[in-house]
Amino acid sequence: MTTKAIKTINLSRDFGPVRAVDNLSINVEPGIVFGFLGPNGSGKTTTI
């Protein structure tokens, strides 16, 4: 089994009635350069 630098499984985050992140799964291997792009208000900071 490989160690992950970043791993999320089915991550969701709500702010009241607003779902900012919906069922996100990410696996990033150590040593990989990973970009996280999206428009303003799309939940990037909330996810991190």
Read off the pTM. Answer: 0.65
Enumerate the domain spans of the chain. 6-47
Q: For 1-48, what is each residue's pLDDT tens digit?
A: 678 888 999 999 999 999 888 999 999 999 989 888 989 988 788 887
What phi and psi values does residue 28 have, to the nearest 5 degrees?
-125, 125
Residue 45, classed as helix, strand or coil, is helix
Q: In angstroms, rounded to a whole number, what is the distance separating the alpha carbons of residues 36 and 44?
A: 7
Angle CA 13–14–17, to nearest 5 = 160
| Cα(22)–Cα(36) distance, integer angstroms | 15
Compute the chain's Rg from CA coordinates: 12
